[in-house]
Amino acid sequence: MVRSLLPARFLPARLLLTSAVLLAASVLAPTMAQPALLPAPLEATWTEAGVFTVTPETPLLVPDGDLGALRIAGILADLLAFGEDTRPRTVEARAYARTPRLDAPPPIVFTDDAPDSLGVEGYVLTVAPEQITLAANAPAGWFYATQPLRQLLPAAVEYAAAFPVPLTVPAGRVVDRPRFGWRGMMLDVARHFFGPNEVRRVIDLMALHKLNRLHLHLSDDQGWRIEIPGWPALTEVGGRTEVGGGEGGYYTVADYDEIVRYAAERFITVVPEIDLPGHTNAALVSTPELNCDGVAPAPYTGIRVGFSTVCVDREETYAFVGDVTEALAAYAGDVIHLGGDEVHELPVEDYRRFMTRAQEIVAPTGRTFMAWDEVAETDVPLLPGSIVQAWRPVTPESAEHLADAVQNGARLVLSPADRIYLDIKYDSTTALGLTWAGLNGVRDAYDWDPSALVDGVADSAVLGVEAPLWTETIGTVRDIEFMAFPRLAGVAEIAWTPQALRSWDGYRQRLGAFGPRWAALGVQFYRSPEVEWAPEGVE
């Protein structure tokens, strides 16, 4: 469980907003003349008109009866307070107008009149001495609008005991919307298990960077991590192991439901993955009927891949897939990921037959079928709208397979291992991580364009970008933070900011300015020598 520097009553909102604030570098590098936002917005202009000063009397005005705006205003109020007696009050706009005060302090106003072109995640943030306005078309837009606002505040706002007073915000205007709708991170909880509190920490830090998809890899050879009604042995047996022989663990139905709810409050959708037909030793140990010989193998706690598979000729296997997908579909979310990678023990025709039938089992649940890029390589006849996650370094041959899948109606999520696999070492001196895909420095993870990755695939077929973190060598939440940050911030900018507005030099400066905010939040990030980090301390 992660100990926070923040008071418990403010923790969820602060970290949530942290994700929001993280967008703009609240801490400005000494050489920067204007605020530095992260990810870079579509448009930002700054004026010399003065500053907006936040006081405990600052009212937060929301549209009448809008519960979404009321919730986001509450998050912002928690950020702007250092105790209950300094928390700005939230008021419906009409009620506020009925009781005018000559000495009323300048307000922070939530409005729903953003341009339609900004969609549900876009926003306009306007800061002037007399008023701050957050305009959006939906609660997600208001939430994302709070993020540059937070970044315009000093990093010390993240501390409780050293809260800076007064708070001032420089005047300017930000107009913004995301480039891609899928901005994700994958966390492997199968090789090493991470409990609900640790996953919530990850969610908070994702939200800090406007990421909106958490892909949970819930099963593998080393462990099965979620309860499935009617199959208790999956967790009672398969949930008790992990890499290196640790005790493992699993999520109860209540645990997983709470993770999904907590993520949704931060505009993050959880994507569950049950890896099939390979990477299944934990399932085979606990459920012998999934084996062709009906005999359970021994538990596995190493890191070798490709040696396990369910029996694709048994009807019990497809009953199992049906029960698993039905259980996952009971939670909020629109996608079910059924793996499909590194199945070395099945002939291609058997693999193709299994994955074809598996997607047909998912379809009646109303969820979209998703799988790793082996389904494209083996020409699985994917249903229209299916999602292929491209994970292997792209070659001309694999690009052709991916383009064919798109031509047949599939869409892509890009996760190139040689760019954004967060478990790959930063450099040769990094203690954690693997090197099979090379080395992934901070610039490597940032300096590429999703549109140029796969020849023959149009931007419209790319849903977005997702950075996987496999956990063969990752055992604690601090390990997660170290391997994810700062690279995950770069992935967030790739997914959010138009390519024409991105450059390594500009990003490197803004990233360096952001370090003190991570430090204030207790994030164990890697202080890469590629970046000139701003000094840490209370402002």
Q: In Å, what is the CA distance from 27 to each residue of 21, 24, 82, 501, 527?
A: 11, 9, 19, 21, 16
Question: What is the distance between the alpha carbons of residues 288 and 421, in angstroms, rounded to a whole number?
Answer: 33
Question: What is the distance between the alpha carbons of residues 87 and 76, in angstroms, rounded to a whole number?
Answer: 10
User: Which residue in this structure is represented by tokens 């074809």?
Assistant: 356
Catalytic residues: 342
Contact 202, 472 (CB under 8 A): no
Residue 210 sits at the vertex; the CA angle it makes with 376 and 423, to the nearest 5 degrees, is 55
Contact 191, 62 (CB under 8 A): no
Question: What is the distance between the alpha carbons of residues 60 and 39, in angstroms, rounded to a whole number?
Answer: 25
Gyration radius from the chain CA atoms: 24
Indicate the pairing of strand 90-92 with strand 108-111: unpaired
Q: What tokens were used for 3?
A: 């100990």
- Helix or strand or coil: residue 296? coil
Contact 152, 35 (CB under 8 A): yes
- Would you give the end-to-end CA distance of the chain in angstroms? 28
